[in-house]
Amino acid sequence: MMRSHVQKLDYIHGNSVRAGLVARPEDYRWSSARLYEQGLYDEDRGLAEQVLALMETERDWLQRER
């Protein structure tokens, strides 16, 4: 991954921390930081597709908890 891309991702992922919403970027519910932190980001699939998959997984989990 290009250095400027990593810097931009760090900035974006840090927004939820700077806003005081979470202590770590990967703790923010809708952040893609978890994909990067866990080494799950797949450049071939693209970020949008992977974030949507995370959201679907989260939705399924929440529905089971009800």
In the prediction, which pLDDT does 50 show?
A: 66
Identify the residue with better confidence: 1 or 21. Answer: 21
Predicted TM-score of the model (pTM): 0.54
* 62-46-20-65 Cα dihedral, nearest 10 degrees: 10
Task: Give the helix, strand, coil percentages of the chain, each rounded to 5.
Answer: 65, 0, 35
Number of domains in the chain: 1
Write out the residue range of the structural domain in which residue 42 sits: 3-65
At 55, which helix (H) or strand (E)? helix 47-65
User: Rg of the chain's alpha carbons, rounded to an integer?
Assistant: 13
For 21-49, the pLDDT digits (tens) are 999 998 888 888 877 777 666 666 666 67
Q: How far apart are CA 21 and CA 29, in angstroms?
A: 10
